[in-house]
């Protein structure tokens, strides 16, 4: 079945080839395709149980809903780590990547390698061996590549408590350090981030948000803008969300509390489902019509907090958390959001490509 609803996209088109890349690698059945489908194609997590087959060849997809958050996702077959790196993985469609290119090296593009480990499939030693091999090879070819480990499937009976998840993460980190040392690489020379994930809850969105944030060149500016907004309007917290993927691409520098991100992200679902879609003709609706340039929403909570969502760019939402008493001056807030909106628009203008996409 895989990939049948992806319309042919020319991944060699320089505009696409130069987008940041997220590579999904790892052992068979680790959950790479599931992650891709759940987050980027809205498959229900439960459906992955019986709708996915083992990935046979590289499947690429482009995520391009909003100008500030554009990248490609590369879903590799299980146990493929770029060994026979010269194009062979791409023989399903004829558009080969420019010769000599490695999967680890993007055209001027920031690249992130996500290694997906199945937390429910112990022991991990064999898998982590492949991981260290892949990492060392990737770093040789592209010293700037960002390495992320998703410790996936931390759900179900085995992971009821947070302790069990932390234990699992500690195990894996220690083993990776050992493997790297054995391979003669100093573990301190490589920066690896570890994320505990499950497609059944919000953790996968949190992890991917952090991955994506690292790929966005404008991130420091975005953080600044949000910081200004939050302090001028006395807000508790503000996030910028890609409405379609529900990843947040930036937030103000204040501490992030997972519960509040989750609430903001759930708010997006609520907004999209509550708004009636446009009737095109009898029995036909346009599902994308729910979110437009006038989209906004207010949710009042019993603890005196207000969630405020406002459209700030195509399929981009600002979601803020603020105290009800600070929400009274709504026109002032809207004015400031208007300024943010302008700034975002300017930021999203394609920068004349000079040297490097970083």
Partner 1 sequence: MAKKKVLLMGKAHSGKTSMRSIIFANYLARDTTRLSPTLDVEHHHVRFLGDLVLNLWDCGGQDAFYESYFERDRETIFRGVELLIYVFDIESETPEKDFDHFCGVLEAIEENSPDARIFLLIHKMDLVAEEDREAILEDRKQLIEESCISCGVENFQCFGTSIWDETLYKAWSEIVTNLIPNIGLLETHLNKFCRICDADEVVLFERATFLSISYQYGTPHFDAHRFEKISNIIKQFKLSCGKAQSQFHGMEVQNSRFTAYIDQFTVNTYIMVIVSNPSVHTAATVWNIQNARNDFERFIPRV
Ligand X SMILES: Nc1nc2c(ncn2[C@@H]2O[C@H](COP(=O)(O)OP(=O)(O)OP(=O)(O)O)[C@@H](O)[C@H]2O)c(=O)[nH]1
Give one DSSP letter per residue of 7-56, joined into a string. PP--TTSHHHHTS-EEEEE-STTSSHHHHHHHHHH---GGGHHHH-----
Applying CB under 6 A, which part among 25-33, 85-93, 177-185, 209-217 lies near ligand X? 25-33
Residue 316 is a binding residue for partner 1 (CB under 8 A): no
Q: Does 236 bind partner 1 (CB under 8 A)?
A: no
Hey, what are 226's tokens?
């949000």
Neighbours of 135 (CB within 10 A): 25
Cis status of the peptide bond prior to 44, with omega within 30 of 0: no
Please say which residue, 34 or 297, places its beta carbon nearer to ligand X. 34
Q: Of 266, 336, 343, 347, which one interacts with partner 1 (CB under 8 A)?
A: 266
Taking the complex as a whole, how short is the minimal distance between the CB of residue 242 and partner 1, in angstroms? 18
Handedness of CA 238, 316, 203, 45 (dihedral sign): positive
The contact mask relative to Mg ion for 12-41 (x = CB under 5 A, - = no) is: --------------------xx--------
- CA 269 and chain centroid, separation: 17
- Least separation in angstroms between residue 209's CB and partner 1 is 17
55 touches Mg ion by CB under 5 A: yes
Which token pair is 190? Answer: 């490589």
* Token pair belonging to 9: 């996209």
Q: Which does 277 bind (CB under 5 to 8 A by kind): ligand X, partner 1, Mg ion, none?
A: partner 1
10 Å CB burial of residue 277 (0-12, 13-18, 19+) is middle
Q: Rounded distance, CA 337 to CA 7, Å? A: 36
- Determine, following the binding rule CB under 8 A, whether residue 299 of this chain makes contact with partner 1: yes
The region of 49-57, 80-88, 306-314, 325-333 touching Mg ion under the rule CB under 5 A is 49-57
Q: Which of 16, 247, 38, 215 is nearest to 112 (CA)?
A: 215
Residues in contact with Mg ion, total (CB under 5 A)?
A: 3
- Maximum pairwise Cα distance, the chain: 67
Per-residue interface string for the shown chain with ligand X, residues 142-161, x marking contact by CB under 6 A:
----------xx-xx-----
User: Cβ 88 to ligand X, closest distance in Å?
Assistant: 17
Q: Give the interface with ligand X as residue ranges (CB under 6 A).
A: 26, 28-34, 48-49, 52, 54-55, 77-78, 116, 152-153, 155-156, 198-200
């Amino acid at each position: 079945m895989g990939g049948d609803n992806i319309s042919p996209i020319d991944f060699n088109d320089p505009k696409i080839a130069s987008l940041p890349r997220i590579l999904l690698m790892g052992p068979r059945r680790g959950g790479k395709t599931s992650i891709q489908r759940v987050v980027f194609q809205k498959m229900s997590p439960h459906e992955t149980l019986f709708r996915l087959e083992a990935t046979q060849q590289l499947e690429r997809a482009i995520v391009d809903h909003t100008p500030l958050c554009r990248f490609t996702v590369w879903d590799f077959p299980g146990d493929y780590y770029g060994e026979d790196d010269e194009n062979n993985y791409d023989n399903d469609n004829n558009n080969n990547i420019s010769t000599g290119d490695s999967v680890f090296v993007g055209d001027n593009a920031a690249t992130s390698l996500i290694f997906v480990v199945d937390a429910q499939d112990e022991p991990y030693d064999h898998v982590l061996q492949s991981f260290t091999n892949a990492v060392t090879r990737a770093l040789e070819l592209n010293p700037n590549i960002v390495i992320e480990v998703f410790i996936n499937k931390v759900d179900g009976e085995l992971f009821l408590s947070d302790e069990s998840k932390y234990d699992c993460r500690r195990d894996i980190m220690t083993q990776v350090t050992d493997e790297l040392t054995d391979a003669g690489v100093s573990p301190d020379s490589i920066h690896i981030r570890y994320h505990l994930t499950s497609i059944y809850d919000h953790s996968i969105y949190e992890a991917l948000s952090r991955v994506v944030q690292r790929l966005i060149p404008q991130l420091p500016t975005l953080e600044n803008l949000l910081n200004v907004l939050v302090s001028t309007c006395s807000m508790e917290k503000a996030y910028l969300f890609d409405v379609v993927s529900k990843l947040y691409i930036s937030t103000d520098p204040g501490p992030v509390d997972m519960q509040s991100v989750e609430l903001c992200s759930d708010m997006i679902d609520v907004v999209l489902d509550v708004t009636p879609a446009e009737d095109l003709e009898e029995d036909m609706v346009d599902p994308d019509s729910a979110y437009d340039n006038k989209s906004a929403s207010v949710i009042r909570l019993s603890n005196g907090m207000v969630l405020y969502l406002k459209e700030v760019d195509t399929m981009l939402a600002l979601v803020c958390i603020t105290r009800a008493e600070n929400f009274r001056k709504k026109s002032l807030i809207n004015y400031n959001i208007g300024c943010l909106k302008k700034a975002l628009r300017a930021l999203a203008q394609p920068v004349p490509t000079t040297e490097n996409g970083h």
